[in-house]
Amino acid sequence: MGLWAAVHAARLGIDTVLIDAGELGQGASGGLLGALMPHMPDKWNPKKQFQFDALVSLESEIAALEAETGLSAGYRRSGRLIPLPKPHLRTIALGHSEDAEQHWQAGERRFHWHVLDRPPVSGWLEAADSEGGFVHDTLAARVAPRSLTSVLAAFLRKAMHVRIMENVALESLDPDAGRARTSAGTILFDRCIIAAGHQSFPLLGEQTSGLAKPLGQAVKGQAALLKADVDPDLPTIFRDGLYVVAHEGEHVAIGSTSENRFDEPFSTDAQLDALLDAARALVPSLRDAPVIERWAGLRPKAIDRDPMLGRHPEHERLIALTGGFKVSFGLAHRLAQAAVLIAAGDEVPFELPDSFLLSGHIRVASR
């Protein structure tokens, strides 16, 4: 989120200091999966429209950065496959298919929620346990998280107007005076965007009066990377919270657990083994694929679950940009663009769902 914000600020020629307590891209965004999954196409609302527009526009945003840096972000609109274990789910899926025809339109481009008897490719998803058939969604995409953060970082390292300070932690803020105390000294600012992942919640909470609860929490996730000689164009498989994502370089990512309580934030355990077993049962070609990495990270989940964006109601100079929870990768570029425009006092040229606004999250945490 912060990297995208710095990209947008750089494009506007705004003098920017990007500080990171670690190295760029090593937080929750330094993971393995990078699934870009649309919301369901039914019950359409501003939040779904925002995500749809973001998922469509990400493709050209990434292409532009790739052209500027000469690096690949490992992006592909490879779609998604969802097995339907029961016949009645097929009826529901057919309804969603009509919803997608109506709502998944961007100019001339159309995206679909096909309902199929068989998977569109063989040897990838096991056909057993899918009495209702399969959904093949053509809007879903994926990106390689570490490749994307490397592209963003490479762009920023060359950008005029951007100064990067790594291994520098924000310690305290006096937003009204425009003063940030960091582990490397004091920084004076005109506007400050807090995009510190789950650590944004206490940082913003300290600046907020009347809170009865924290503004959000960290939700741990575990994932794994397998080495497998599969086509990187294969669609992402999704079933009951399990994702199987084919990437370039003979890599397949498996994820993710969702843990509200945990003792060790960055270690993996038997919960990941169970996911790996489930993935191997679903995808025969992964049965013997070796695990080359196990990884865990902390997602930022805002109190009202949606992303948390916007000017702080008590501090004009302070802007929140966090709470992407499980869908940050598909939204970050748009949320960050909005955050930078808000910081600059410019109009945001697209609608921001009310449920994203920091002020709304603060209301919920104040009850």
Ligand X SMILES: Cc1cc2nc3c(=O)[nH]c(=O)nc-3n(C[C@H](O)[C@H](O)[C@H](O)COP(=O)(O)OP(=O)(O)OC[C@H]3O[C@@H](n4cnc5c(N)ncnc54)[C@H](O)[C@@H]3O)c2cc1C
Say how far apart CA 318 and CA 64 lie, in whole Å: 29
> Looking at beta carbons only, is 22 or 214 nearer to ligand X?
22
> Looking at beta carbons only, is 55 or 115 nearer to ligand X?
55
Residue nearest to ligand X (CB): 27
Tokens of 199: 């650590």
Say how far apart CA 256 and CA 248 lie, in whole Å: 19
- Provide, rounded to whole angstroms, the least separation between the CB of residue 31 and ligand X: 5
- Provide, rounded to whole angstroms, the least separation between the CB of residue 267 and ligand X: 13
- Give which of 126, 32, 34 is closest to 81, Cα–Cα: 126
> Looking at beta carbons only, is 223 or 338 nearer to ligand X?
223
Contacts to ligand X by CB under 6 A = 1-2, 19-22, 26-29, 31, 33-35, 169-170, 195-197, 199, 221-223, 255-256, 297, 299-300, 322, 324-330
- Provide, rounded to whole angstroms, the least separation between the CB of residue 103 and ligand X: 20
> Looking at beta carbons only, is 223 or 340 nearer to ligand X?
223
> Looking at beta carbons only, is 228 or 308 nearer to ligand X?
308
Q: Using omega within 30 degrees of 0 as the cis cutoff, is the peptide bond preceding 256 cis?
A: yes
Question: How many beta carbons lie within 10 A of that of residue 101, not counting itself?
Answer: 14
Residue 180 CB contacts under 8 Å (≥ 6 apart), including other chains = 19, 170, 172, 173, 174, 186, 187, 188, 189, 192
- Provide, rounded to whole angstroms, the least separation between the CB of residue 253 and ligand X: 8
Q: Is 290 exposed, middle or buried (0-12, 13-18, 19+ CB in 10 A)?
A: exposed
> Looking at beta carbons only, is 2 or 83 nearer to ligand X?
2
- Provide, rounded to whole angstroms, the least separation between the CB of residue 122 and ligand X: 25
- Provide, rounded to whole angstroms, the least separation between the CB of residue 117 and ligand X: 28
- Provide, rounded to whole angstroms, the least separation between the CB of residue 142 and ligand X: 8
Instruction: Render 306-351 in DSSP notation, one character per residue.
Output: S-EEEEETTEEEEEEEE--TT-HHHHHHHHHHHHHHHHHTPPPSSP
| Longest pairwise C-alpha distance within the chain | 62
> Looking at beta carbons only, is 72 or 271 nearer to ligand X?
271
Instruction: Output Rg (C-alpha) for the chain, integer angstroms.
Output: 21
